[in-house]
Structure 1
Amino acid sequence: MDHPFLADLFEIPWSQLMPDRIEPDISAGLENTQQCIDAIAAQDASSLTFENTLLAFEEANEDLSRAWNLVSHLDGVNNSPALREAHNKMLPRITEFTSRVYLNPALWKTIKAYSQTDEAKGLTGVRKRLLDETLEDFKESGADLPDDKKKRLEELNSELAELTQKYSENVLDSTNAWELIIDAESKLAGLPDSAKEAARLDALAKEHGTEENPKWRFTQQYPSLLPVMTYLDDDDIRKQVWEGSTRIGLEGDHDNTDIIRKTLVVRQEKAELIGKANFPDLVTARRMAKNGQRVNEFIEDLHVRVKDAFKSDFQEIEAFKAEQTGKEGPLEPWETAYWSEKLRRSKYDLDAEELRPYFPLPKVKKGLFEITERLFGIKIVPRSTRYVDPETGKEQTFTIDGNDETPIEVWHPEVVFFEIIDGDGTMLGAFYADWHPRESKRSGAWMNHFRTGGPRADGTFDPHLGLMCGNMTKPTKDKPALMTHEEVETIFHEFGHLLHHLLGRVEIKSLNGVNVAWDFVELPSQIMENWCWEREALNLFARHYESGEAIPDELYDKMIAARNFQAGAGTMRQLALAKLDLDLHQHPASYTEGDLDSLLRKTLEDYTYNFNTTPPSIVRRFGHLFSSPTGYAAGYYSYKWAEALDADAFTRFQKEGVMNGETGMAFRQCILEKGNSEPPEKLFKDFMGRDPDPEALLRRAGLV
């Protein structure tokens, strides 16, 4: 096909989405979109309607947005020199174009003219919501600025896109540049067998060691790093791994320090141009928090209430370590996870590795799907897949028994594909899942969407298309991928985001699914994590990979008893990250000179533990804040904000039954289906019958 990135196809032709197609396809998309926008802007004011103005504007950018989303997705999951070069070549053009759309005076004049028509004044429901949101989008993007300030805003948006892309590349490259090869198994005492085997196989794949004379390779990928920091007895090796993590985004050509400072300055200038005091006030104006001061109050209120528990938690670890070793004093950063795990075992007789055999990924997926099917009245159906090697053209097919439909093409052999079918047989959508780490893939876990569908005028349904990615533990030669409980929670979390997208029923695409206030978007994801703790739900999927037996009662009781272990420390860590984010963006001038780490330590001195060795800040690898022009910048508080909502909302399930389909359908109809069609405060109240209870989060964490 002439322009594969622009192809309006539900089944994406991944093998045709090659780096050399990015420039011509995106260029064509830019040209086509501009023509559509020019046509809207040129209309006579007397002929304006909802369809030829607001809906036409919705549709104008659809092909280009979908195409660039594919480029960005591939940059995140199959990064290569050629793809990176093509992406970065087009990034300035995309950024400039996106900025200019909302700064186009003729288009803005047309939108405003329509808003004054009798038809516009009579709009109700989701159509009025679209008008209101569109007007605010333009104002927030600088549409009312004079020409000189519009020009400057375009420059700032372009600079932000380039800075954050480079930041992300530095994190990926410096993560991949680090490795530690261990050549004696005796140095790996304490490390679980599953982690040792994964490290041995990783070394073999990189041509370190042989089957007869093995070596073990460790990286900064989370499934490799976490077991070392939690279980490995060798203090020196843990220190090396920790030191490696602190160097990500910090050294040589990968140093993100200047990028952070420039980004803060640019964001501040952008906020001031649009008439806000700072970046938090800009990004929270249309969120539940409304302004940066309310965010600050939210963070500080929780901080005061968990401070004593936080201090007590670290004192307990210190005392336990002193008791075991005879060495008193503050912990080292590379000791915290290790001694915390030792303490948890001592208090609850629980080794987190004991749970791993009960969480094989195939069963976790099956249980997750069964839970959501029962709660939300849907059916999740796997499809066969095929992968075409773009270099050789060789095709691999992965067949699902009983599914004789044409296999769906995927971007990597490990990617799987599922369809979501409603109770009446309607196909609501489908999604890809990419579970495991590789060097061409960015770290972390995330959800995104390729297509937004919804109800059609003829009564049929245009299905949605989404994806979820993670960096979970890999399978080994003789074992399936055995998840930690934390990884299970991550899978449920990202699937919650997917459900928010795939179950959306809003007729206006831009108001559907996850296109909601940022401090509300985590509610559907975080509430799903609750089912990872409920016995009734766990019995559906937490089964030993060999025997098929459920988690024994004794082990489950230990797991529940330890749920709130170190809750004060865990809560304070999230608050510290939120405080770091907020202070950087409320007071950027304070961080433009001097030692960045020292400045941040002072900001967070009442939020962090005083380690014996002072660690550098996480800020240079904190992708949530600096790997996209906005992302979670000035919004990291959203996790705790939405966690308070989810803790409260889940009390209804606990009262009415955690597997109660009627309650699940109420959550689907009040929250998941509604997207941004109504204010989030109303959606929450529709489900709970009241406003949120701010105490719910602390009660669940055992902190009140």
Structure 2
Amino acid sequence: MTPPNSRKPPQAPPTFTATTQSIVDDAKRLIERSRSLQDQIVSTVQPDTATFANTLLLQAQDENDMALETHILGFYQAVSTNPALRNASSEAEKLLNDFSIESAMREDLFRLVEATLKKNEPLDPESRRLLEKEHKDYIRNGLGLPAGPLRDRFKEIKKRLSDLGIQFQKNLNEENGGLWFTPEELDGVPEDVLSGLRKGEGENEGDLWLTFKYPDLFPALKYAKNSNTRKRIVIANENKCNQNVPLFKEAVVLRDEAARLLGYPSHAAFKLEDKMVKTPKAVTSFLGDLRSRLTDGGLKEIEVLKNLKKADVESRGESFDDLYFIWDHRFYDRMMLEKQYSLDHQLIAEYFPLQTTIRGMLQIFEELFGLVFIEIVEEQRDKVVESGKGSDMVWHQDVQVFSVWDDEEEGGGFVGYLYLDLFPREGKYGHAANFNLQPGFIGADGNRRYPATALVCNFSKPTLKKPSLLKHDEVVTLFHELGHGIHDLVSRTTYSRFHGTNTVRDFVEAPSQMLENWCWTPSQLKSLSQHYSTLSPEYLKAWAEQADENAARPTKQIPDELVTNLIRTKHVNGALFNLRQLHFGIFDMTVHEPTNHEAIETMAISETYNTLRREISQLEGPEKLGEGNEWGHGEATFGHLMGGYDVGYYGYLSSLVYSTDMFYSVFKVDPMDRREGRRYRHTVLEKGGSQEEMKTLIEFLGRPPKTDPFYQELGLA
């Protein structure tokens, strides 16, 4: 068999050559093409002649073809350095969303789909699922309402919610705030971070500009010795996007109104109807049970951390206030790991240079799932891309591209394209996420269309003296997002609607959460590691310049002692970590399950957010200092609840139940079991959302999922 790296992929990669004009023009062209198809269907098919083939299949194939372009049209707003291009991308997404709402509320199409459903044709399971979901979606989009003012109002709400979501995320992507600090105020922050901060001029001469981007924000909160510095950062970060405050409030009010128009008691009831848990009662019961189990542990963890804070502030001649604030937590959590567990995150990061860590992760996926990753380096791209111009293949020069293949055991075929966009820049999406660029599906000609997927992250950029180095939590984040990317790549569905991570929200995180366990397995951690000083003579020299003169030269791989110390800390302060997740989940349910519509109209959202944070996490905030409960507006920075995770944030915790069960039951004894890895690939990842997710779980586990491993892992059994 021809080795993959000497074969040309059977499908050219997508290109990124859009202009501000072409993005909008392309969106309009796709809309017009799709609308013409819909008009043609309703003009040639009657309810008595409607079949799956002449009604739904044609629309599904159109949806497949549209997705090849629409995902990329909307992607530019998350990654482009050109503000005009980002604006055009947002405009295109608005046009496409409005058209999607219009299509979903076409009564003439609904009548044909309903007639098709009633005929009960023999269909393959995925087509049957598509038909049933499409029928239900029409009803959930207002076609169960009588034509007239009520339905018109529902459509108006849907369009406004789309606009609010686009503007909210645009504000977050384009947020470029920060604070000026003197070097003294940033005492304790690692030199690697300080050297990368913008230097002040004029009235800010000698000061440093600390942004709210993760590579600046988290090290400052972990290492800045000055508590007032950390307090200023926390408060400013919670107020960095206050223009989103009214957008969020309007969105939750409109969601509630829309749900009640459809006859649901709340937006939560509406959203959960087609999720794995089905009802708000099941979610609140799960979150409430977890909160009751975690609260005592959280209080005990705070007492230990307060003692650490007391010793620290008194050692500096300051008086201890017997309080533990949110701006204290990352600092003393880090100090505790160093003092009590001999854990130096800066030292551990030296063993995880970004590029060698990525290579190690891809090797794990190769061995486990039967894949081969071939990087398409810059000088090779001209031969791969159809235009012959390699730069067309990426949206920014920092982006890496891989062609992905099956290994010989899996048949040696092409799988798809993987893109990595790993460093922060102005206007870029500010968190870590996986974006589908083009889905996989079976085309109208019967041929397979291969996917393209992108990881968009924000890790620290390399410097002349050091490569980009990952803290262990960043290693976990990268592995998690790569897990979504693998899910996207290896999925095998007929329709793009069910491809890859297009599952219900309370399952979608489970596959990636399960893979996080590999980052806590000694053998895998060692295989991922390589001390940066061993990468080149220049890095070795740079390491020697900053090391103690008597320091021993680092080993190539991370020492066993460091690995042991790291793994011991997996659940240190775990109750506080999970209480923070509970705060987000319970806030999400609180704003989406009001007792009546007036309750959400009059709810003080920011006050609710901050009050719940204090009550659930047990960490004090500025309200303890008399600044009231409206000191910050964290909901305005919470992209999840405006980006599809509304009444879905509980899924990060509930899907941990499934992911932990899968790992404990199948992989814990041998995480690199090739046979089980391939079975997992074909039984879980390959299915995407093409069948009920619970069915997928039961097929893999051989039984319904259990909660016992989840509570055992958290020490709450």
* TM superposition score normalised by structure 2: 0.87
* 1:625 is aligned to 2:641: yes
SS at match of 1:381: strand
Q: Deviations over 1:58-78 (max 9, x none)?
A: 122344444332232111111
List per-residue Cα deviations over 1:88-141 (Å, max 9, x = no partner). 545553333211211111111111122222xx4322422222222222222222
Check conservation: 2:154, 2:258, Cα contact below 8 A. yes
Are 2:255 and 1:271 equivalent residues in the alignment? no
Q: 1:619 to 1:655 in 2, by over 3 A?
A: closer
Contact 2:360–2:528 at 8 Å: present in 1 too? Answer: yes
Q: Which residue of 2 aligns with 1:220?
A: 212
User: RMSD between aligned alpha carbons?
Assistant: 2.7
Letter in structure 1 aligned against 2:394 = V
Q: Deviations over 1:184-224 (max 9, x none)?
A: 4x54432223222332xxx26x98999xx986432100111
1:247 maps to what in 2?
239
Report the CA distance between 1:344 and its aligned residue.
Answer: 2.0
Decide whether the 8 Å contact of 1:40 with 1:110 is kept in 2.
no
Classify 1:688/1:408 alpha carbon distance in 2 versus 1 (closer, same or farther; 3 Å): farther
Contact 1:380 1:421 in 2 (8 A): yes
Aligned partner letter, 2:224: L
The residue number in structure 2 matching 1:314 is: 302
- In the TM superposition, what whole-angstrom CA distance separates every residue of 1:435-463 from its partner, at most 9, and x where no partner exists? 11111202101112122224568875321
| Cα distance in 2 for residues equivalent to 1:89 and 1:408 | 23
Are residues 1:506 and 2:493 paired? Answer: yes
1:238 pairs with 2:230:
yes
Equivalent residue for 1:584, pick from 587, 591, 595: 591
Aligned-partner residue type, residue 25 of structure 1: D
Within a 5 Å distance, the mapping from 1:47-446 to structure 2 comes to: 47-78=49-80, 80-117=82-119, 120-148=120-148, 149-173=150-174, 175-182=175-182, 184=183, 186-199=184-197, 203=198, 216-250=208-242, 254=243, 256-326=244-314, 327-385=320-378, 409-423=393-407, 424-446=411-433
Identical columns (%) = 26
Does the 8 Å contact 1:19/1:82 carry over to 2?
Answer: yes
For this pair of structures, how many residues does the alignment match?
A: 666
Q: Compare 567-576 and 341-350 and name the one that shifted more.
A: 341-350
- 1:588-639 deviation digits (Å, cap 9, x = unpaired): 643433643333344455313251623534211111112x3xx101110010
The separation in 1 between residues aligned to 2:614 and 2:329, in whole angstroms, is 18
Q: Look up the match of 2:685.
A: 672
Cα drift, residue 399 of structure 1: 11
Structure 2 residue identity aligned to 1:57: Q
Unaligned runs of 5+ in 2: 1-10, 315-319, 535-554, 624-630
* CA shift digits 1:533-582 (9 cap, x unpaired): 11121222112111362111111111011111101100110011100011
Worse overlay, 500-509 or 650-659:
650-659
1:330 positional shift: 1.0
Report which stretch shifted further, 327-336 or 604-613: 604-613
1:594–1:702 distance in 2 versus 1, CA, 3 Å:
closer
**Distance change in 2, residues 1:207/1:87 (3 Å):** farther
User: 1:445, 1:469 within 8 Å by CA — same for their partners in 2?
Assistant: yes
Specify the code of the residue in structure 1 equivalent to 2:560.
Answer: D
Mark the CA change 1:602 to 1:335 in structure 2 (over 3 Å): closer, same or farther.
closer
Q: Which segment drifts farther, 345-354 or 88-97?
A: 88-97
Amino acid at match of 1:139: I
> Does structure 1 retain, via aligned residues, the 8 Å contact 2:381–2:390?
no
CA deviations on 1:12-45 (whole Å, 9 max, x unpaired) are: 3312x01122232222211111001112222134
Q: Name the structure 1 match of 2:552.
A: none
Secondary structure of 1:116's match? helix
Tell me the SS of whatever aligns to 1:703: coil
The match for 2:564 is 557
Larger deviation: 80-89 or 483-492?
Answer: 80-89
The alpha-carbon deviation at position 659 of structure 1 amounts to 0.5
Residue 145 of structure 1 deviates from its aligned partner by 2.0
The answer to whether the 8 A contact 1:465-1:502 is kept is yes
What displacement does 1:586 show? 0.6
**How far apart are the structure 2 equivalents of 1:207 and 1:412?**
30
Shift of residue 376, structure 1, vs aligned partner: 0.4
Change (3 A) 1:286 1:595: closer
Q: Which moved more, 1:514-523 or 1:78-87?
A: 78-87
Name the SS of the counterpart of 2:401 in structure 1: strand
Secondary structure at 1:369's aligned position in 2?
A: helix
CA distance in 2, matches of 1:169, 1:460: 37
Equivalences for residues 517-666 of structure 1 within 5 A: 517-547=504-534, 549-587=556-594, 589-593=598-602, 595-603=604-612, 606-611=615-620, 613-614=622-623, 616-626=632-642, 628=643, 631-666=644-679
Q: Aligned equivalents of 1:487 and 1:297: distance in 2? A: 32
Write the distance in 2 (CA, Å) between the matches of 1:559 and 1:610. 25
Correspondence for 1:390: none
- After TM superposition, give the deviation of residue 334 of structure 1 in Å: 1.9
Classify 1:486/1:375 alpha carbon distance in 2 versus 1 (closer, same or farther; 3 Å): same
Q: Once structures 1 and 2 are overlaid, which stretch shifts more, 321-330 or 685-694?
A: 321-330
- Give the aligned residue type for 1:473: S
The equivalent residue for 1:450 is 437
8 Å contact from structure 1 (residues 10, 465) kept in 2: no
Q: Distance in 1 between the 2:371 and 2:603 partners?
A: 56
**One-letter code of the match for 2:585?**
A
Judge which range, 101-110 or 140-149, deviates more.
140-149
Distance in structure 2 (CA, Å) of the matches to 1:559 and 1:499: 26
Q: Do 1:350 and 1:558's aligned partners in 2 also have CA atoms closer than 8 Å?
A: yes
Shift in CA distance, 696/237, structure 1 to aligned 2, threshold 3 Å: same
Q: How big is the shift at 1:46?
A: 4.9
- Residues 506, 512 of structure 1: 8 Å contact kept: yes
Distance 1:13 1:525, change over 3 A: same
Task: Please say which of residues 676-685 and 123-132 is displaced more in the overlay.
Answer: 123-132
1:393-418 residue CA offsets vs partner (Å, 9 max, x unmatched): xxx98999xxx996761000101111
Tell me how far apart the structure 2 counterparts of residues 682 and 104 of structure 1 sit (CA, whole Å): 32
Report the Cα distance in structure 2 between the residues aligned to 1:458 and 1:619, rounded to whole angstroms.
Answer: 47
TM-score, structure 1 normalization: 0.89
Q: 1:208 to 1:541 in 2, by over 3 A?
A: farther
- Letter aligned with residue 196 of structure 1: L
Amino acid at match of 1:365: I
Identify if the C-alpha distance between structure 1 residues 106 and 702 changes in structure 2 by more than 3 Å, giving closer, same or farther: same
